[in-house]
Chain A
Amino acid sequence: MSGRTVAADLRRDNFILLAFTPIVLLMPFWLQLIGGYEALATKVVIWMIFALGFDVLLGFTGFLSFGHAAFFGTSAYVTGLMLKHVTAEIVPAMAASFIVILILSAALGYLTLRRSGIYFAILTLAFAQMLHAAALSIFQGWTGGDNGLTMSTRPQLFGIEMLDLNVFYVAAVILVVMFYVAQRIKRSPFGLMLRSIKSNSMRLQYTGVNVQAYKQMAFMISAMYAGLAGSLMVIYEPYVATKFLHWSTSGEVVIMSVIGGVGTLVGPMIGAAFMMFFENVVQAFIGEQWKLVLGLVFVAVVVFLPGGFMEALRRLRNRTTGAPGSPGATAEQPAE
């Protein structure tokens, strides 16, 4: 942070939000100009929400979860079951998912946050894979197992069918709101505590702070974002695949965050957009080898741009303005 005051940071955030909002709301149109298609915009926005929440945990506190699919997938199933068996209205379905994720993340956070680093990553991975296995076995009657969960009717919002652009705009508005929330969290005293966990949690403890409670909150907030994304994904599809709970979904959000720029909020969203664009558009051009190319991109970013795309932007700006560390820099760590 090179910000001078909290107020100045907030003004800069508002400027970013102001630029961000039209870019997101107009995505279905400009995405087509660069080879995408309308429906892809919805997927991009949903993954952006997921990546944004992931950054609250990984970017702020430094805790790398390899099990966020647990929240994305569970929320998707709860939403799907609600839509199928209870009501086609999405608000009660999303509310039910929210409550389930609240409870699930409280429990998983309590169990996993006692460890850090690789142990935390493995614990989260293990719990998520247990849920994945459960969806395929004991809960098969509910989840439909490998066949997935299909809905007979289209989800609705106050009687309006959730089709095409309707889904997009619901998701896009939620994204803008959630981005604002994440920005405010980052600048708040609470956010400062989270960022200090990443830096030195022992010092924080010996400054009189209950570090565990802050970690738990960050974990739960981040799970909420993942759950929200999971719900929206079902409303978009409308279908739930076991893949939503699979570890590869967790892995995907990790990759998005890392290539975008961990801790910057904007970076992981760019990473999410890039990944979705790559998987759905670029893939068609390069064919079978697209995963190999993606892997190379990932390696190149990690090796040459440890701060992700956001670092590239910062370097570019510093070069053009000739002002290293100009006050506009929002990214955290050059990591050099």
Chain B
Amino acid sequence: MADIAVVAGNGLLDRRAFLRASGILFTGYALSPARAEPLSEPPWSREPGTVVPPYGTPSKYEKAVVRTLSNPNGEPRNSHARTPHQQLQGMVTPSGLHFTISHAGNAEIDPAQHRLAIHGLVKRPLVFTLDSLARYPMVSRFSFVECGGNSAPLFSPEPIQASVQALHGLASCSEWTGVPLCVLLDEAGVDPKAKWVVAEGADSPHLSRSHPLGKAMDDAMVALYQNGERLMPGQGYPMRLLLPGWEGNMNVKWLRRLQLTDQPGMTYYESRTYAQILPGGKAYQFYFLQEVKSFITHPSPGLNLKGPGFYEISGIAYSGNGRIARVMVSADGGQTWAQAALQEPVLSKAFTRFRVPWQWNGGPAVLQSRAWDEGGNAQPTRAQIIAVRGQTSKPPPVLAFPSQHYNGPTSWAIDASGGVKHVYA
């Protein structure tokens, strides 16, 4: 038996405590759980079960584990569906729970008629069918995708009371499989004058975004599969552009055309929507990166603690700059910190699940996480972000996007009854 060290204030325990199968002993805490009910044979163990379906879906008892919708009736505007992080574990977002933003609904594309054109500053303009792309050597990688507007409610001057799904649900992580974009561009023959790629979708807004040729030749992918199966319609079926670690909107869904150019398109979404107004009136343009971020998913608002005792604090960290190097967790609003365990595998530009064991003594606590990536980039404090970016003059509606690219920490206050509230700390 080994004692578990308390490594930071308010009961944070050594991250290594439960990573090995050795006996453990809580010192200083009396463990006296109430006696359990006698066991009995339940109905489902007394008769055969239901017919096995061709395509599995979650248990009927999991019906509450769904995305929240900003436009459930399909009104003529954009639609957001947010990932329920507070109900998920691990690093992979189930495909049906991956966040979706569609600017005019989900296009319903017949894959046999879909085409991908590559043209502009290339030696040989080419067009590909899905069948032909499926014959190329493929690569798989885990990558998060995050909307540039994810976490935007934290630009509010006061903490907005909402779930982690409402605050951070526009980020998800999947395994993507497809054809490296550089292979297709090499086949077309890149003209030395080309500097940018303007990508376009086959959805009704014909959504278009420009990215530098350097990213296209580095790790961009024409993704055909998500978590082993063909892309979900909301992820761009039958193909999407994947720019690992870069602003979600740039990962053009329903991809149908790539024009190589000597200048960016200055499209609507890059010159207007995803340009962020700064104090003083200028605006950022071409933000590209989703920078290092983390947030605690368990506990979080709605997941109330059921009395003092042991809890695992866990959450998600990720960086568009590479792998997560370290996550620190505080239970006292940032006065003292414990290093979190990082669940393997820790992959570049993918979600990394972090965990810290915690003995809650029933008193007030403020939980917060901060992450660092392998490039040495630290998740900034809220004060650091606001100093450069400003904040709104009054609290915006929770579904509004006053600005984008907020990657500061999120703090959850625990009250004596175990309730969890969003606070700034």
A binds B: no
